[in-house]
Amino acid sequence: MSDHIYLDYNATTPMDPRVLDAMLPFFVERFGNAASRSHQFGWEAEEAVKIARGHVADLIGADEKEIIFTSGATESDNLAIKGTVEMLASKGKHVVTCVTEHKAVLDSCKYLESKGEAEVTWLEVDSHGRVSPERVAAALRDDTVLITLMTANNEIGTIHPIREIGEIARERGIWFHTDATQAVAKMPFDVDALNVDMASLSGHKIYGPKGVGALYVRRKNPRVRLAPQIHGGGHERGMRSGTLNVPGIVGLGEACRIAKLDFEKDQAHYRRLRDRMERLIRESLDHVQLNGDEEHRLPTTFNVSFAYVEGESLIMGIPLVAVSSGSACTSASLEPSYVLRALGIGDDMAHSSIRFSVGRFTTENQVDEAAKTVIQTVKRLRDMSPLYEMAMEGIDISQVKWKTH
Amino acid sequence: MAYSDKVLDHYENPRNVGSLDKNDTRVGTGVVGAPECGDVMKLQIRVNEKGIIEDAKFKTFGCGSAIASSSLATEWVKGKTVDEALKIKNTDIVEELALPPVKIHCSVLAEDAIRAALSDYRAKQGTPVATPGTNAH
């Protein structure tokens, strides 16, 4: 894999070696159950979990008592949404979310809707993928119990105005959950500054292990209590039962500690390399369209459509560069990305989209090499693209009557 | 996704990429598909005095399988008469390229492209052929 260039950090990250070092003792030597109160093995594990909880809390400006460990952000999203709707059933059943959320949020909401347990308002986004606070405010009802909106989008990196939306939620006394999976460690994220009541995060997006995540649950003003979705021994303040994944939690904690320690350095690194990638590509190719919000965007993410070139064929031409595409052909459903569609960019441009996401271990050489290969391949594919040929002849492709399926 | 060696070969070394003069009366042009569906194929043939397809060119916007299907189609029509070329079936393309079920539509599109090009040629010659169900399915 040494020749391969990984530019898909929004999908997952390699573990930081420092994280692995922190985890290793907890598999064989220090294997205790954190719930065992009667011996050294248990106390050791409990202590390690406590330290990790502190690191997670520290990174997002929370108190350690407000961190619930889960198996990952999908579970955190499920717990926040279903747990709120169930807990507040007597108060109301209206939930506000938006169409570009992660499937973990969309499908949790759809599930509750199908069961008749929730009525959901699905907010549209603007052409940059943002929801305005005004739009959120307009959707609220007397029986609204939850607003759930991601901080930053995984595909396009667009950042919602979370602080302003949190303010509205606070004023109206509505709980506010944000899926912060992509945001944490990539942008300043503080639960108090952003007026957030619940926040989901994941280990493997921030150089920690897979299979572990957390849900921040506010304890004061408001005091958020969630109906558990996994029942058992009453772990995690009764909100998430199950023996704690001690090595995973230690890993997540260490990943958060490092993320805080290296925050400024990481930020500068992400931005420099992402901007370099963007500049190299834009300098050499025309008809390149940015998907998302140029300004309100994660520093790691660059999502573009290379007009007249289909995404899967482009990926095929850059086998050593790992990226993802919004093209239908790369998805199981054969539908182009629902996120890109929600921006109204047109299915043709969705088919032509590629997401580049850089990370802590990306190097300048890798960016240069990847940009070179992408540029060559786009040029080659445009040379064999009938659409490019038509565009060069001055034909407006959107006006052509296609013989469609 | 794993591609067959033949798909990879056509993708990396596409045969007959390019364009013929679409105003030439001996040239037939077929353009099928749509950008919003993720694939558009343009296939062109030039027929000589003996009624043999002496040249074929393609340009395709689409996935690797779509590129390979149209590349193969140009290889296959060359040297055939119009009637012979009309007999090429999408299932032959599927078999030759070992296309998985999700990529069968690429082969259908390639067959459509051949038929559309032949139809255009015959129309120019004043002997239009019916090409049932080729452009809409």
pLDDT one-digit tens code per residue, A8-51 = 999 999 999 999 999 999 999 999 999 999 999 999 999 999 99
What are phi and psi for residue A235, nearest 5 degrees? -70, 165
> Quick check: A389 and B31 CB within 8 A?
no
pLDDT digits (tens, 9 = 90+) for A164-193: 999 999 999 999 999 999 999 999 999 999
pLDDT digits (tens, 9 = 90+) for A299-347: 999 999 999 999 999 999 999 999 998 776 655 666 788 999 999 998 8
For the residues A353-365, what does the mean pLDDT come to?
A: 97
Say yes or no to pLDDT of A52 above 60.
Answer: yes
pLDDT mean across residues, chain A: 95
pLDDT at A293: 97
pLDDT digits (tens, 9 = 90+) for A215-239: 999 999 999 999 999 999 999 999 9
Q: Give CA–CA dist A306/A287, Å, rounded.
A: 6
> Quick check: B40 and A402 CB within 8 A?
yes
> Quick check: A329 and B19 CB within 8 A?
no
pLDDT at B136: 40
B98-to-B4, B19, B103 alpha-carbon distances in Å: 6, 27, 10
A391 touches chain B (CB under 8 A): no
Q: Starting at the edge strand that comes first in sequence, how are the strands of the sheet with A353-357 ordered?
A: A288-290, A301-306, A353-357, A324-325
Least confident window among A94-98, A172-176, A392-396: A392-396
Residue type, A345: I
Please list the residues that pair with A121 across neighbouring strands. Answer: A96
pLDDT at B53: 97
Q: What is the pairing mode between strands A5-6 and A321-322?
A: parallel
Q: Give CA–CA dist A119/A115, Å, rounded.
A: 10
Q: Which of B17, B34, B42 sits opposite A404 (nearest CB)?
A: B34
Say yes or no to pLDDT of A400 above 90.
Answer: no
Of B23, B40, B106, which to mutate for an interface test with A (greatest number of A Cβ within 10 Å)? B40
Say yes or no to pLDDT of B133 above 60.
Answer: no
For the residues A45-60, what does the mean pLDDT come to?
A: 98
Rounded percentage of chain A residues whose pLDDT exceeds 70: 97
> Quick check: B66 and A405 CB within 8 A?
no
Q: Give CA–CA dist A74/A104, Å, rounded.
A: 5
Say yes or no to pLDDT of B132 above 90.
Answer: no
CA torsion B116→B120→B125→B129, rounded to 10°? Answer: 40
| CA-based nearest residue to A374, from A355, A391, A359 | A355
pLDDT at B135: 45
Q: Which two tokens stand for residue B109?
A: 């599109």
The pTM is what? 0.92
Which letter does DSSP use for residue A58 in this model? H
pLDDT mean across residues, chain B: 91
* B63 is an active site residue: no
* B106 is an active site residue: yes
Whole-complex ipTM: 0.89
**Helix, strand, coil share (%) of chain B residues, nearest 5:** 45, 20, 35
Q: Which secondary-structure segment (H or E) carries B113?
A: helix B104-125
Sorting pLDDT into bands at 50, 70 and 90, what band is B126? confident
pLDDT digits (tens, 9 = 90+) for A245-302: 999 999 999 999 999 999 999 999 999 999 999 999 999 999 999 999 999 999 999 9
pLDDT at B137: 40
